[in-house]
Amino acid sequence: MIEPYTAVALSPRVSACADRGDYMRNIEHIKSFMDTAYGMASTDGPPVKLMVLPEGAFQSLLVDFRGGDRRREAEMAVEIPGPETAALGEKARDLGTFIAGNAYVVRDDDFPDRYFNRAFLIDPRGDVVYTRTKLQVEPFEPEVVSTCVPHDVWDRWIEVKGNGDPMQALYPVADTEIGRIGMIICMEGGYPEIGRGLALNGAEILLRQVYHEPYVSNGWWELQSRSFAVANNAYVVAPNLGPQSYSFDGPLYDIGGGKSMIVDFRGHVMVQREFAAADTFVSECLDVEALRRYRSQNGFGRWFKDLRMEQFAAIYQRPIYPKNQYLEEPPTEGWGEREQAVLAANIERLKQGGVLASPAGA
């Protein structure tokens, strides 16, 4: 039985990074803030068992970096596990909690010269027990943070990471003593398939890391987080970016818009925090056994029992985005221009296929 416990979504201040040593400066700040957040959240009663960091919480903005620059990629990439997760693991042991985090320039021994955005989960013993790689990125991400995705190396990714099973390669879930946990990273929030893939692998708690302006103030962040919760009968713990600076202790910028939140498995926002120019957090009690009872009831809104899979599979038979772009050769500089050309070609193909209609006068 899983007793109710408190989850904490953290939005720490993060400084830009010119070298890998700056990552550790950010991590030391995060660890200090965790002590405060843990203490305050503990006053609510249930023990704190989960602390969730946003995407890029210790890497933040990378100075003098451009995707395809082999030298800078090698300098700024991290390993998971590595020194940074080991430092967070010390805090996990100290507090006796799970810590979830993210790094968006991560090397992978199976794919030399290709770097990935990867979420991770550290257990209370300080060990990395789960990772998941981001599947969908914004057009600017390859140029700014050197992000390949599994689709770019599709054939080998499915073979190596899932032993031929796409569900395991793309939507892994951590089965832990506090529930089954899956992670959703930033732009993936725009794709309901990500949450459904994790849920169909058993995820009960979805950790949704980050969105940015103007898509927080216009309501997309909350809409997507609540949709993930209600459509998958899952808790959603969603920390957004904290204030960021372009230099250590420099001026702060709000590019995320705040509104970190925790949503229950019926889509209700349990707690939400507005942005502040400081470290902030939200916390709330999760009752996994209540979620499991709800999912097991034969009632409306318990969606899994109703899924007629063949009728949905038909939607995805026609490919849109080309796979295996970087299977044979890693991307080089000029990544952003190539990405824009691919997307423009996709739009034309969708028009020719009747999916999109050209606006008048186009």
Residue 246 pLDDT > 80, yes or no? Answer: no
CA distance 47 to 96: 10
Q: What is the mean pLDDT of residues 146-173?
A: 96
Supply the Cα-derived Rg of the chain in whole angstroms. Answer: 20
Q: Model-level pTM? A: 0.96
Which letter does DSSP use for residue 227 in this model? H
Give pLDDT, residue 248. Answer: 64
- Predicted confidence band of residue 139 (pLDDT cuts 50, 70, 90): confident
- Predicted confidence band of residue 68 (pLDDT cuts 50, 70, 90): confident
Give pLDDT, residue 177. Answer: 98
From residue 361, how far is each of 48, 97, 210, 357 by CA, in Å?
58, 58, 37, 12
Who's near 92: CB < 8 A, 6+ residues apart? 98, 99, 122, 123, 124, 125, 126
Buried residues in 118-130 as b, exposed as e (16+ CB within 10 A): bbbbbbbebebeb
Torsion sign, CA atoms 220, 224, 226, 231: positive
All domains of the chain in start order, with CATH: 5-352 (3.60.110.10)
Give pLDDT, residue 19. Answer: 92
Residue 91 pLDDT > 80, yes or no? Answer: yes
Nearest to 238 by CA among 87, 95, 119, 141: 119
Nearest to 55 by CA among 111, 138, 129, 113: 138
Residue 82 pLDDT > 70, yes or no? Answer: yes
- Predicted confidence band of residue 348 (pLDDT cuts 50, 70, 90): very high
Which letter does DSSP use for residue 301 in this model? T
Residue 245 pLDDT > 90, yes or no? Answer: no
Residue 144 pLDDT > 90, yes or no? Answer: no
